[in-house]
Homo-oligomer: A and B are copies of this chain.
């Protein structure tokens, strides 16, 4: 699967390494927020004019724009967070993101393109812990005041049998 804009570019090894550290630290902070349920601050990780998409690998490979989630701009991220918090009805559950295999694809000025693997584990109350979704982040980060923000995040999941009725942030 090749996602347009996410090809491996030649990157200076030192720059790539520095970028990887930044991206790893971004993931740890971002995932902690979602896992602890502080969804109100979720939008703070995005640029104003961000693009956020969750879609199945088979859709991405067919270059279909249709996805599970499509949000353009930080305001839509905020709306989504509000919806998850206040209007969706679902059983309480614990979430845990595991991110690994961060690969820097391009570094240009304040912009970093990276690919990372994620697992999203879910635990229902009195239930087992199961793998809800496994996939890849294709990210474009923008560095602002020394801090990374998501300019674009495409979450492309392999897992085809996911519960479409409940769409949690990834």
Q: A-side interface residues toward B, CB under 8 Å?
A: 1-2, 13, 16-17, 20-21, 25, 27-29, 31-32, 35-37, 57-58, 94, 96-103, 115, 117, 119, 121, 123, 125-129, 131, 133-136, 146, 158-161
Contacts and interface: CB of A to CB of B under 8 A. Distances in A.
Contacts of A94: 57, 158
A123 B133 CA distance: 10
Nearest to A30: B101
Given A2-B36, A28-B103, A125-B160, 16 more contacts: A1-B37, A31-B101, A32-B103, A57-B94, A96-B135, A97-B117, A98-B100, A123-B134, A123-B158, A123-B160, A126-B160, A127-B160, A128-B159, A129-B131, A129-B133, A131-B131
Contacts of A32: 101, 103, 115
Interface of A is mostly: mixed
A99 B96 contact: no
A31 B103 CA distance: 10
27 contacts: A1-B36, A1-B37, A16-B25, A28-B101, A28-B102, A32-B115, A57-B94, A58-B125, A94-B158, A96-B134, A96-B135, A97-B101, A97-B117, A98-B101, A98-B117, A99-B101, A119-B121, A121-B134, A121-B158, A123-B159, A126-B160, A126-B161, A127-B160, A128-B159, A129-B133, A129-B134, A129-B158
